[in-house]
């Protein structure tokens, strides 16, 4: 498609957009009496208008049924989390049995590390990307210290080449092969939070397995954003939050994937709790754990249904639309945003540098050479919500559910005004 930097062209794309009706299903902040242009769905998605109904259902059941809501509410609380597994399985490419919803992201990664970081003899090292998201770095460091190792020795970071802004696949594979039989675990972000790069998870998983290591993924910036086939890629485990592209609300519940190969392994180490036991015997109060035989075996406590309700509201929208449609629009709207940025850079002789490679999802990370945070502040004051990372990077993530092509054009005009002011 030959793009044009014009309002008429952007509006024409919106007319043809099969997802355009979903924009009206979200609440937008208002600045200067207009809906904002929202580029931070990679940090916190907008609120679906259906969310309140799902939360209110639970509040009414709590009011009218009290404890009996666990079993007699229309959406019974004791197995409420199971309602989310089927739509989530389609988002991440898994079977229903491989999915569970619980806790928050870093908590779930710690719990999964109990099962999949099992250092033994010379095999104790963990491979990740350099400058992984800080929470992942802290989690990995504390895990290896817990096992008696020095993080400086046990954690191997795959680095970008000097002067480059993204990782090369051949360097990731080469580092896995170099660590070899000392490698216990590969744990990386499926989409890098800083530069928006999508890693070849299938190839990296296969390379890790070839060295005898477990392979897991932090999918915080991937779930609901890119195509995933966790089961077919034979990923051992994964975890992700729900409040970014999946619009479940700030700090809300996380989910996990555990490959079916591990579900019936009675010898797998795991921190266990009441809600991971077989449903039919859970209330018989047996003194010994009996695994439910699905990813729910990693559940510790009864589900926080007030937190899960917004997630379910959003997931039903994902199920209605389907990831292929979302990915198709995502590819086009991000390409149009890239075109707008390049047009303005050329028109104003500005120095923008897009550091996100072609392997990308919703996000474009852009160096604004010669511009400071004052430009970011100008965008905010004029109704464009972006994410700023020091010293001069803005992250732009036009989520396909609610961002329009007109948004991309209007952003370009406001950006141009901010540079010229």
Rounded to an integer, the average pLDDT of 246-266 is 96
- Sort strands 393-396 and 387-389 into parallel, antiparallel or unpaired: antiparallel
Which of 118, 179, 117 minimizes the C-alpha distance to 153?
Answer: 179
- Cα separation, 419 vs 396, whole angstroms: 17
Residue 263 has pLDDT above 90, yes or no: yes
Check: CB of residue 337 under 8 Å from CB of residue 41: no
- Cα separation, 250 vs 182, whole angstroms: 39
Residue 395 has pLDDT above 80, yes or no: yes
Q: Give the model's pLDDT for residue 130.
A: 95
Q: Give the model's pLDDT for residue 228.
A: 98
Burial state string for 292-325 with b = 16 or more CB within 10 A and e = fewer than 16:
bebbbbbbeebbbbebbbbbbbbbbbbeebebee
Does the domain at residues 7-42+322-420 carry the CATH identifier 3.90.1150.10? yes
Check: CB of residue 264 under 8 Å from CB of residue 293: yes
CATH class of the domain whose range is 53-321: alpha beta
- Cα separation, 92 vs 100, whole angstroms: 12
Three-class DSSP labels, the chain: CCCCCCHHHHHHHHHHCCCHHHHHHECCCEECCEECEECECCCCCCCECCHHHHHHHHHHHHHHHHHHHHHHCCCCHHHCCHHHHHHHHHHHCCCHHHEEEECCHHHHHHHHHHHHCCCECCECEEEEECCCCHHHHHHHHHHHHHCCCCHHHHEEEECCCCCCCCCCHHHHHHHHHHHHHHEEEEEEECECCCCCEECCHHHHHHHHHHCCCEEEEECCCCCCCCCCCCCCCCCCEEEECCCCCCCCCCCCCEEEEECHHHCCCCCCCCCCCHHHECHHHHCCCCCCCCECCCHHHHCCCCCCHHHHHHHHHHHHHHHHHCHHHHHHHHHHHHHHHHHHHHHHHHHHCCEEEECCCCCECCCEEEEEECCCHHHHHHHHHCCEECEEECCCEEEEECCCCCCCHHHHHHHHHHHHHHHHC
Per-residue confidence band for 50, with pLDDT thresholds at 50, 70 and 90: very high
> pLDDT exceeding 90 applies to what percent of the chain?
92
**Domains in the chain: boundaries:** 7-42+322-420, 53-321
Which of 79, 80, 108, 62 minimizes the C-alpha distance to 307?
Answer: 80
Q: Could you read off the pLDDT of 142-161 as tens digits, one per residue?
A: 999 999 999 999 999 999 99
Check: CB of residue 61 under 8 Å from CB of residue 80: no
Average pLDDT, the chain: 96
Which of 414, 417, 421, 418 minimizes the C-alpha distance to 37?
Answer: 414
- Sort strands 254-258 and 30-31 into parallel, antiparallel or unpaired: unpaired
Least confident piece of the model among 4-13, 309-318, 385-394, 404-413: 385-394
Q: Give the model's pLDDT for residue 314.
A: 98
Higher pLDDT, 259 or 350: 259
Q: Give the model's pLDDT for residue 87.
A: 98
Q: Could you read off the pLDDT of 294-320 as tens digits, one per residue?
A: 999 999 999 999 999 999 999 999 999
**Beta bridge pairs of residue 125:** 183
Rounded to an integer, the average pLDDT of 31-60 is 97
Rounded to an integer, the average pLDDT of 76-96 is 97
- Cα separation, 291 vs 175, whole angstroms: 37
Answer positive or negative: Cα dihedral of 293, 296, 299, 305: negative
pTM of the model: 0.96
Higher pLDDT, 371 or 95: 95
Rounded to an integer, the average pLDDT of 400-411 is 98
> pLDDT exceeding 70 applies to what percent of the chain?
100
Q: Could you read off the pLDDT of 328-383 as tens digits, one per residue?
A: 999 999 999 999 999 999 998 888 899 999 999 999 999 988 787 889 999 999 99
Residue 189 has pLDDT above 80, yes or no: yes
Per-residue confidence band for 259, with pLDDT thresholds at 50, 70 and 90: very high
Structure tokens at 254: 């996380």
**Residue found by looking up tokens 């007109």 in the block:** 406
- Cα separation, 266 vs 272, whole angstroms: 12
């Amino acid at each position: 498609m030959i793009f044009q930097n014009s309002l008429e062209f952007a509006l024409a794309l919106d007319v043809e957009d099969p997802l355009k009706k979903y924009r009206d299903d979200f609440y937008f902040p208002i600045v200067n009496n207009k809906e904002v242009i929202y580029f931070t769905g990679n940090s916190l998605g907008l609120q679906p208008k259906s969310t309140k109904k799902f939360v209110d259902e639970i509040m009414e059941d709590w009011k009218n049924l009290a404890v009996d809501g666990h079993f007699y509410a229309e959406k019974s609380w004791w197995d409420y989390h199971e309602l989310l597994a089927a739509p989530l399985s389609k988002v991440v490419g898994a079977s229903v049995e491989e999915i569970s919803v619980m806790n928050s992201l870093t908590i779930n990664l710690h719990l999964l590390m109990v099962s999949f970081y099992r250092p033994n003899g010379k095999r104790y090292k963990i491979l990740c990307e350099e400058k992984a998201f800080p929470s992942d770095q802290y989690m990995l460091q504390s895990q290896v210290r817990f096992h008696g190792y020095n993080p400086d020795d046990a954690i191997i970071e795959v680095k970008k080449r000097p002067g480059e802004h993204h990782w090369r696949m051949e360097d990731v594979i080469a580092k896995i092969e170099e660590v070899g039989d000392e490698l216990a675990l590969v744990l990386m972000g499926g989409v890098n939070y800083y530069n928006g790069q999508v890693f070849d998870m299938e190839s990296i998983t296969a390379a890790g397995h070839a060295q005898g290591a477990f392979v897991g993924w932090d999918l915080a910036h991937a779930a609901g954003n890119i195509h995933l086939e966790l089961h077919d890629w034979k990923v051992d485990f994964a975890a992700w939050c729900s409040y970014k592209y999946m619009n479940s609300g700030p700090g809300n519940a996380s989910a996990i994937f555990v490959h079916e190969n591990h579900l019936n392994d009675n010898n797998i180490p795991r921190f266990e709790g009441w809600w991971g036991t077989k449903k039919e015997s859970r209330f018989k109060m047996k003194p010994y754990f009996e695994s439910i035989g699905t990813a729910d075996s990693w559940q510790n406590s009864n589900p926080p249904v007030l937190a899960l309700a917004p997630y379910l509201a959003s997931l039903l929208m994902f199920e209605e639309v389907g990831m292929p449609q979302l990915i198709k629009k995502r590819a086009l709207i991000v390409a149009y945003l890239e075109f707008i940025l390049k047009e303005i850079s050329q028109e104003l002789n500005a120095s923008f540098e897009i550091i996100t490679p072609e392997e990308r999802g919703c996000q474009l990370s852009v160096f604004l050479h010669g511009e400071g945070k004052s430009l970011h502040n100008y965008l905010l004051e004029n109704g464009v919500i972006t994410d700023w990372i020091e010293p001069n990077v803005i992250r732009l993530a036009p989520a396909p559910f609610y961002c329009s092509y007109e948004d991309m054009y209007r952003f370009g005009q406001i950006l141009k005004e901010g540079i010229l002011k």
